[in-house]
Amino acid sequence: MLHTEDLSVSYGAVQALKSMNLTVPRGEVTAVIGANGAGKSTLMRTLAGLVRPQTGQVLLDGVSITGKKPEDIVRMGVALVPEGRSTIPELSLEENLRLGGLWRDKAGRLESQQKVFDLFPILAERKNMRADTLSGGERQQLAIGRALMSDPRCLLLDEPSLGLAPLIVTQILELVSTLAKETNIAILLVEQNAVTALRVATTGVVLNLGEVVKSGPAQEISSDEELRHAYLGY
């Protein structure tokens, strides 16, 4: 379980996250939704260690990972799939995957790799191709696969739907929610595309201007008309 306490982040005079309390339970998908500039990406980057919070704490199963470096946080079990195609096009698909768990022992790596190939069979087929020859959907699967190579307890997905066809997005997200249940990892999903995100999520969190304005069961949030008009713009 990933948990934040009073987490605040500011860039100069701009406060991007205000005293945020958030819980991401294991075995389910938690969706964070909100308009542009609501602080979604900042939240993810802070959890992964790319941004240092001014105050507050991030706890993973009760252990603080606040202020640690990203390379240490991933080793402790929190893996971020950043926004955009976060694969490295100059490396082969297999190398991109391998990169995700280089510090682990070989047996563990192979086991994780097998899990990823089971989850995304297309990756196994294209193992030796360069990452820049893959389609957008394949690359997103590869990016998630790389994060899974670290055998995370908590997976952070930042806008995985960006630039992908809706059908592929749905496929990927459904795989992800299955993954959460089967392997009992905590998944935090940040999406601008609220409808899709809330469909696969158990819990929904609505973010506005760096603050949580509402959180609750995903279905409840997606049916709240007022909330939709005010913060989600549809």
Partner 1 sequence: MTNFVDYLLGGFSNGAVIALMALAIVLVWRSTRMVNFAQVGQAMFTTYVALTIQQSTGSWILALVVAMAAGLVLGIVVFFLVIRPVKNSDSTGAIIATFGVLIALQAGAGMIWGGDPQGFLTPVDNSGIEFAGRIWPISLYDVLVLVVTAALVIGLTLLFTKTNLGLSMRAAAFNPEVARLSGVRVNRMLITGWAIAGATGAVGGVLIAPVSTISPNSFDILLVFAFTAAVIGGLDSLIGAVTFGIGTGLVISLVSGYSDSGNAPIVALILLALNLLLKPDGVFGHHGARSV
CA atoms of 116 and 122, how far apart (whole Å): 10
CA atoms of 25 and 202, how far apart (whole Å): 10
CA atoms of 233 and 26, how far apart (whole Å): 30
Binding status of residue 162 toward partner 1 by CB under 8 A = no
Binding status of residue 146 toward partner 1 by CB under 8 A = yes
Q: 20: buried, middle or exposed (CB in 10 Å: 19+, 13-18, 0-12)?
A: buried
CB of 146 to partner 1, least distance (A): 6
CB of 103 to partner 1, least distance (A): 5
Are the C-beta atoms of residues 29 and 6 closer than 8 Å to each other?
Answer: no
Q: Which is nearer to partner 1, 4 or 87 (CB)?
A: 87
CB of 74 to partner 1, least distance (A): 5
CA nearest to 20, candidates 53, 60, 67: 53
Q: Give the contact letters, 59-88, x = binds to partner 1 (CB under 8 A), - = no.
A: ----------xxx--xx---xx-x---xxx
- Give the three-state DSSP class for 182: helix
Region 10-49 residues binding partner 1, contact defined as CB under 8 A: 48
Binding status of residue 103 toward partner 1 by CB under 8 A = yes
Which stretch, 21-29, 89-97, 202-210, 223-231, contacts partner 1 (CB under 8 A)? 89-97
CA atoms of 110 and 112, how far apart (whole Å): 5
Are the C-beta atoms of residues 207 and 33 closer than 8 Å to each other?
Answer: yes
CA nearest to 140, candidates 112, 109, 111, 169: 169
Residue from 8, 23, 26, 50 binding partner 1 (CB under 8 A): 50
Q: Which is nearer to partner 1, 99 or 213 (CB)?
A: 99
Sheet of 78-81, strands arranged across: 78-81, 154-158, 186-191, 29-33, 203-208, 211-217
Residue from 13, 102, 107, 167 binding partner 1 (CB under 8 A): 102
Binding status of residue 130 toward partner 1 by CB under 8 A = yes
Q: Which is nearer to partner 1, 80 or 232 (CB)?
A: 80
Which stretch, 52-60, 90-98, 166-174, 191-199, contacts partner 1 (CB under 8 A)? 90-98
Paired with 23 in beta bridges are 3
Binding status of residue 140 toward partner 1 by CB under 8 A = no
Rule CB under 8 A: which residues touch partner 1?
Answer: 48, 50, 69-71, 74-75, 79-80, 82, 86-92, 95, 98-103, 130, 146-147, 149-150
